[in-house]
């Protein structure tokens, strides 16, 4: 009998190999490549897999090799001596059958079940190439293709009962069709992933999950129609983030129509008083208008071709522009608005204090300032400095501050809108100063800011229907067309909007999980098809476990400590194995 020895202890190898009790170890061979264990089964009779009759006559024997989990860094191979049995039932079409090893390896498998499980765990958490690299360095050599095949063979998790669901979209890639993600908000886990974003597929999902009580969604038509049709019993909630986002878009429209207010506030802050008229000559203005007309014409052409069914790349070629520009144009059906591009100072920003100091010391030459800044690591252009110096000329010998330079930059309507919807305590000092000045310089802008803060506050503090009605009345009284239009838009989905201002559930977590899907998708270099992506998302350890924030913190602390091995049952190492 095969035994191993270490420090006088003698034990049976099969006791720590974790083998079925019907298998006995014959011998162990070791070479540079792997550790090979020879085994045979000890059962005296085996049932025929076709008719179930127990056979007791052995026809022949052969060796079957299966790879097993590595043993202390060495590849491990099991050589199973398989007996072929004769079926005693004459009428059975299966005259001869080979014995199987349930619990160890499936029929015809070249790997043990536990090795397959280890590879599947690797395949779910890493892409094919990375997983194959890690498994090979852990003495389980495999290829990326095998690993992916193993993951694809995994069954999807069983449908679990979901009561509170968040639904949103995720993009296959920029400009590509979207998929749908469904998150169990109560248990903080992804519950399903759909390959497309359509009313039909989402409706079908809701119909299959009749236990859904609450649906959190954006203001789009697709998920709304799906929830209406598939889950009429559920309460729908418009996500607060999307409400705030749509509101910011309304603000952007307002400031887009009132850019002069932004300009005036910026110039007053910079200490210039009146807004200087732009020095554009009629000829320059004409050129600018021509360019804008051309942009609108191109935008309309792109949309026309897109409606005619042309692919984005083909449209790019036909119009003679880059495909990125086509993607951008197709994001918005409205033609672009006319605006002038602002000079970006980002490379100059860290040197503004120095610039102001040198200006006040009397250095007013752009070239000289540029050379001094280059020695300090400035990598921008001389032109950028020349522009700033030109802006400072009107100050003459008066002293200037850093703000006088930064605030020359008039914030865009979009940036202003984002500044305004931010909670007051989260604004930077520059933003606070700008918004205060904006409110001081124009009463309508002040009303807009007050309404924006009130809207943010009613969403954050869940003020519900009374708060919303009060806010709506204030908007109506203000007479600001852009905000009234936003408010009227809410009436279309009134019940869900009121729920959004009342219920604590929202899609923040769904956005987080969308990021996770993106990360998994990109870790496969965008090559994974839907079945693989779906398994990698739904079978990922974090998707299977439902953990609260506190639990997650605790578990991450636990996993930071090295895993403790239960060594009590193991007294010998494979290198100490010798045939007795």
Minimum Å distance from CB 49 to Zn ion?
Answer: 8
Instruction: Between 56 and 365, name the residue whose CB sits nearer to Zn ion.
Output: 56
Residues 6 or more apart from 251 whose CB is under 8 A from it?
413, 416, 417, 420, 421, 448, 452, 482, 483
Q: How far apart are the C-alpha atoms of 231 and 212, rounded to whole Å?
A: 7
Minimum Å distance from CB 56 to Zn ion?
Answer: 13
Residues 6 or more apart from 2 whose CB is under 8 A from it?
12, 13, 25, 26, 27, 28, 579, 580
Minimum Å distance from CB 88 to Zn ion?
Answer: 8
Alpha-helical regions (H) of 339-378? 352-360, 366-375
Please, how many CA atoms are within 13 Å of residue 186, restricted to the half-sphere of its CB?
A: 10
Residues that bind Zn ion (CB under 5 A): 48, 50-51, 87, 92, 94
Instruction: Between 91 and 559, name the residue whose CB sits nearer to Zn ion.
Output: 91
Instruction: Between 99 and 169, name the residue whose CB sits nearer to Zn ion.
Output: 99
Q: What is the CA radius of gyration of the chain?
A: 35
Phi-psi domain of 273 (left: phi exceeds 0; alpha: psi -120 through 50; beta: other): left
Instruction: Between 95 and 260, name the residue whose CB sits nearer to Zn ion.
Output: 95
3-state secondary structure (DSSP) of residue 164: strand
Instruction: Between 97 and 378, name the residue whose CB sits nearer to Zn ion.
Output: 97
Minimum Å distance from CB 23 to Zn ion?
Answer: 24
Minimum Å distance from CB 41 to Zn ion?
Answer: 19
Q: What are the beta bridge partners of residue 9?
A: 6
Minimum Å distance from CB 2 to Zn ion?
Answer: 34
Q: End-to-end CA distance of the chain, in Å?
A: 7
Strand intervals (E) in 185-319: 189-194, 214-217, 235-238
Minimum Å distance from CB 101 to Zn ion?
Answer: 19
Minimum Å distance from CB 14 to Zn ion?
Answer: 30
3-state secondary structure (DSSP) of residue 61: strand
Instruction: Between 58 and 363, name the residue whose CB sits nearer to Zn ion.
Output: 58
Enter the tokens of residue 499: 């729920």
Minimum Å distance from CB 166 to Zn ion?
Answer: 54
Q: Closest Cα partner for 36 from 75, 85, 82? A: 75
Instruction: Between 92 and 152, name the residue whose CB sits nearer to Zn ion.
Output: 92
Instruction: Between 49 and 102, name the residue whose CB sits nearer to Zn ion.
Output: 49
Please, how many CA atoms are within 13 Å of residue 159, restricted to the half-sphere of its CB?
A: 11
Q: Closest Cα partner for 537 from 547, 524, 555? A: 524
Q: How far apart are the C-alpha atoms of 517 and 181, rounded to whole Å?
A: 9
- Measured CA angle at 241 (ends 439, 499), to 5 deg: 105
Minimum Å distance from CB 51 to Zn ion?
Answer: 3
Q: Answer for the pair 449, 254: CB distance below 8 angstroms, yes or no.
A: no
Minimum Å distance from CB 230 to Zn ion?
Answer: 50
**Ramachandran angles phi, psi of 113, nearest 5°:** -60, -40
Q: Identify the DSSP state of 63.
A: E
Instruction: Between 88 and 335, name the residue whose CB sits nearer to Zn ion.
Output: 88
Cα separations in angstroms, 298 against 304, 308, 316, 332, 339: 10, 15, 11, 13, 16
């Amino acid at each position: 009998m095969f035994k191993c020895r270490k420090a006088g202890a003698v034990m049976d190898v099969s006791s720590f190999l974790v083998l079925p009790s019907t298998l006995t170890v014959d011998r162990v061979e070791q070479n540079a490549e792997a550790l090979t264990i020879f085994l045979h089964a000890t059962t005296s009779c085996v049932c025929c897999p076709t008719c179930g009759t127990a056979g007791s006559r052995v026809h022949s024997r052969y060796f079957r090799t299966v790879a097993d989990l590595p043993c202390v860094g060495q590849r491990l191979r099991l050589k199973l001596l398989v007996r072929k049995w004769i079926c005693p039932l004459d009428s059975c079409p299966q005259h001869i059958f080979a014995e199987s090893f349930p619990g160890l390896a499936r029929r015809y498998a070249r790997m043990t079940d536990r090795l397959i499980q280890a590879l599947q765990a690797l395949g779910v958490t890493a892409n094919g190439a990375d997983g194959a690299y890690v498994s090979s360095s852990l003495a389980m050599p495999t290829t990326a293709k095998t690993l992916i095949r193993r993951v694809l063979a995994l069954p999807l998790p069983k449908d679990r009962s979901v009561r509170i669901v968040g639904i949103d979209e995720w993009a296959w890639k920029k400009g590509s069709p979207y998929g749908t993600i469904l998150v169990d908000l109560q248990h903080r886990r992804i519950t399903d992933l759909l390959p497309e974003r359509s009313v039909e597929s989402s409706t079908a999902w809701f119909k299959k999950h009749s236990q859904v009580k609450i649906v959190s969604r954006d203001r789009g038509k697709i998920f709304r129609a799906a929830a209406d049709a598939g889950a009429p019993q559920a309460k729908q909630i418009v996500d607060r983030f999307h409400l705030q986002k749509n509101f910011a878009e309304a603000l952007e429209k307002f400031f887009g129509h009132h850019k002069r207010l932004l300009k005036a506030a910026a110039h007053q802050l910079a200490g210039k008083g009146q807004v200087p008229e732009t020095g554009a000559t009629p000829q320059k203005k004409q050129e600018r208008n021509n360019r804008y007309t051309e942009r609108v014409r191109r935008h309309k052409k792109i949309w026309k071709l897109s409606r005619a069914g042309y692919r984005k790349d083909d449209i790019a070629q036909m119009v003679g522009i880059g495909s990125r520009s086509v993607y951008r144009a197709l994001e918005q059906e409205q033609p672009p608005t006319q605006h002038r591009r602002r000079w970006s100072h980002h490379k100059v920003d860290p040197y503004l204090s120095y610039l102001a100091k040198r200006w006040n010391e009397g250095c007013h030459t752009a070239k000289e300032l540029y050379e001094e800044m280059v020695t300090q690591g400035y990598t921008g252009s001389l032109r950028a400095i020349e522009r700033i110096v030109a802006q400072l000329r009107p100050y003459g010998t008066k002293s200037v501050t850093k703000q006088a330079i930064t605030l020359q930059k008039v914030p865009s309507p979009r940036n202003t809108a984002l500044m305004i919807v931010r909670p007051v305590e989260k604004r930077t000092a520059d933003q606070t100063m700008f918004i205060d000045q904006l409110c001081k310089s124009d009463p309508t802008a002040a009303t807009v800011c007050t309404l924006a803060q009130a809207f943010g506050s009613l969403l954050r503090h869940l003020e519900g229907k009374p708060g919303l009605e009060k806010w709506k009345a204030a908007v109506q009284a203000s007479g600001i067309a852009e905000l009234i239009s936003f408010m009227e838009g809410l009436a279309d989905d009134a019940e869900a909007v009121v729920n959004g201002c009342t219920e604590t559930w929202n899609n923040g977590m769904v956005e987080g999980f969308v990021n996770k899907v993106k990360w998994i998708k990109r870790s496969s270099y965008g090559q994974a098809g839907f079945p693989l992506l779906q398994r990698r998302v739904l079978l990922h350890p974090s998707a299977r476990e439902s953990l609260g924030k506190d639990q997650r913190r605790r578990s991450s602390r636990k996993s930071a400590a090295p895993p403790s091995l239960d060594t009590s049952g193991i007294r010998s190492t494979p290198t100490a194995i010798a045939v007795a």
